[in-house]
């Protein structure tokens, strides 16, 4: 049976260093949320992370709709920011990785992917929300699987079955007797490991970052009693530093996720001999 987050929160709120209670360290209960609607036991429910994902999607769509609903030659504030954001992904990631001619058709997909991942990460430092949606493995895993299927389909379309086989196995007869072993490793890596590592890279960073923020936040409150106040101040400074660092990491992880997606697309489109 999982812990009730509301009971855990109540315990953590009342707990201080000289109250006779141990430090309420963050754990799995920090990533569990009671259903806002439905029954968690039946897997038919709607919880906080789902709400944040939905709100994040609305925010992204709403922003770009406002920015580009009436585009002007001399852009306004929203259009200027929207164009800069769109152009950053288009020129800084897609063009640099796939190329301008081949990559243009994939720009909308990559822009959507970048800002969705970034928004899901940003919830971690937004008051009230204070939780990165991508710290739940199912969200980055679904995005990674979408990218993986895109790579599979593009490889088939561009190279056919034989070309696809050579692509995913790294077929190269010039390496000699180790070819079967090399092909087996490449096949396992591309078909099974690739979507897993693509998802886990994002998930693990957001999970670890949120855990550290929780750790120092709880420590600040726990030490806020008697002579522990001085240590609470140090812990609170760490909260501020970790929040700034998380803000940087959130953008970097969105960038890396899309960069890898573009590299997979580029690999599917590249000619193999």
pLDDT tens per residue across span 148-183: 999 999 999 998 888 888 888 888 888 888 888 999
Q: Tens of pLDDT along 114-145?
A: 999 999 999 999 999 999 999 999 999 999 99
pTM: 0.88
Mean pLDDT by 10 residues, the chain (273 residues): 41 70 84 84 85 96 93 88 95 95 94 97 93 96 96 91 86 85 91 93 95 92 83 92 95 97 92 58
Sign of CA pseudo-dihedral 199, 205, 208, 209: negative
Burial 226-264 (b: 16+ CB within 10 A, else e): eebeeebeebbebbeebeeebeebbeebbbbbbbbbbeb
């Amino acid at each position: 049976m999982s812990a009730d987050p509301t009971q855990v929160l109540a315990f953590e709120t009342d707990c201080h260093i000289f109250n006779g209670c141990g430090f309420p360290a963050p754990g799995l209960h920090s990533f569990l949320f009671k259903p806002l609607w439905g029954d968690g036991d039946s897997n038919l429910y709607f919880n906080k992370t789902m709400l944040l994902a939905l709100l994040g999607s609305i925010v992204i769509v709403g922003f770009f709709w406002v920015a580009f609903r009436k585009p002007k030659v001399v852009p306004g504030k929203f259009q200027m920011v929207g164009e800069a954001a769109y152009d950053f992904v288009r020129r800084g990631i897609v063009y640099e990785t796939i190329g301008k001619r081949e990559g243009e058709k994939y720009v909308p997909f990559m822009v959507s992917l970048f800002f969705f991942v970034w928004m899901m990460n940003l919830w971690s430092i937004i008051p009230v929300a204070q939780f990165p949606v991508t710290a739940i493995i199912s969200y980055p895993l679904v995005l990674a699987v979408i990218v993986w299927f895109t790579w599979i389909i593009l490889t088939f379309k561009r190279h056919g079955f034989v070309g696809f086989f050579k692509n995913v196995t790294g077929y190269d007869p010039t390496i000699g007797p180790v070819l079967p072993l090399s092909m087996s490793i490449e096949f396992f890596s591309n078909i099974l490991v690739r979507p897993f590592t693509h998802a886990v890279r994002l998930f693990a960073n957001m999970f670890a970052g949120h855990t550290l923020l929780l750790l120092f936040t709880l420590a600040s409150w726990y030490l806020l009693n008697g002579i522990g106040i001085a240590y609470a101040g140090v812990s609170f400074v760490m909260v501020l530093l970790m929040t700034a660092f998380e803000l940087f990491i959130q953008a970097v992880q969105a960038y890396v996720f899309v960069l890898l997606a573009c590299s997979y697309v580029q690999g599917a489109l590249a000619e193999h001999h």
